[in-house]
Amino acid sequence: MSQPTIAPRSLEASVKFLSLAMIFAAFSFVLTNSLFWFLGVAVISMFSWMLWHREQWRIFGRLGGVANTLTGLRWLMIIILVGYCQQLHPYLILALGILVLVLDGLDGYYARKYQTTSEFGDVFDKETDAFFVLAYGVIIVVSGLAASWVLLPGLLRYAYVIVLAYVEKPPAPVGYSFRRRFVGMWMMGTLLAPFVLPAWFYIPGLVAAIAMILYSFAVDLRGSWQRGNIPTSVIQ
């Protein structure tokens, strides 16, 4: 079943707004050392984004279809995790993080199974993934497991989106890449490691993740400029 025809509002433009909002949320947390502004900006910006694209959300039903509902559940779980991270045991934070990643695989599975894939669903999934990286960085800082530099991996992805806003060549999707997949899996793993492993182990892993993300950005940008287009994502 193909995606129903609809006149969509620009996802590209709205994702730029969402990226700016998330960068603002992260810096608000760094400057105030409070979760209030981070959660407030994140919730308001994401709900504003979803309201703006409500027609695309409802293409496959009032709840957006099984896949989009699972993605929305992941996003809500991340918000709750951040809000209650100071009251949760580290092992529970780890377990719930793994559950979020499992649901990440399930939403794509059900989108393909029920033939409800869409551009909106793809963007919603990627934005939730990006928020997971930023949010777990915040949880690590709040838990006293690392300093604010651990937010850099999440900020880099949003900065990449902003960079695309100033690129004259039109963005175009890129295919599967083992490099991007490996970097993404490494990043997720190193964000969960601090809750069960010692600092001497996870700190080098997080530093390596930052280096790999920067390298991945550079490779994709350079290769895409040479081909005459810019990829819309670096970690897939």
Residue 21 maps to a domain: yes
Q: Dihedral of the CA atoms 136, 35, 203, 145 (nearest 10)?
A: -120
Residue 213 maps to a domain: no
Domain count, the chain: 1
Cβ(95)–Cβ(77) under 8 Å? Answer: no
Given a cut of 50, the residues of the chain with pLDDT beneath it are 1-7, 170-173, 230, 232-236
Please tell me the predicted confidence (pLDDT) of residue 232. Answer: 47
User: By residue range, what is the domain housing residue 119?
Assistant: 11-168
Q: What is the largest CA-CA distance in the chain?
A: 53
pLDDT tens digits, one per residue of 91-121: 999 999 999 999 998 988 888 888 888 888 9
**Measured distance CA(183)–CA(177) in Å, rounded:** 10
Residue 33 maps to a domain: yes
